[in-house]
Amino acid sequence: MFKATVNITLRDSILDPQGKATHHALQNLGLNQISKVRIGKLVELNIDADTEEEARSIAEDACTQLLANAVVEDYEITIHKKQTVS
């Protein structure tokens, strides 16, 4: 059993209005040290697979077929081996 963590973000070339609004709000709170905010989404997948490579392939398929819009979003997959509870 593996856990895939998928971090999906808008491509740098795509305007992020939610990130811009959040950045403005943070500046209004006096947090002027923050120079840029980009908002994304985090997806966690529990995957039944025999190997890490198989789990990565399944997560990749999930991203390309449903989770991420390849036209405007990038994604990064991290695979973790789930600990079994005795």
- 52 or 82: which leads in pLDDT: 52
Which sequence spans correspond to the domains of the chain? 2-81
Closest CA to 6 of 61, 71, 83, 59: 59
* Fold classification of 2-81 (topology level): Mth169; Chain: A , (3.30.1280)
Q: What rounded mean pLDDT belongs to the chain?
A: 95
Residue 83 banded pLDDT, cuts 50, 70, 90: confident
The predicted structure's pLDDT at residue 82: 80
Query: Mean per-residue pLDDT for 15-22?
Result: 97
Task: Please give the model's pTM, rounded to 2 decimal places.
Answer: 0.85
Residue 85 banded pLDDT, cuts 50, 70, 90: low
For residue 84, pLDDT beyond 70 = no
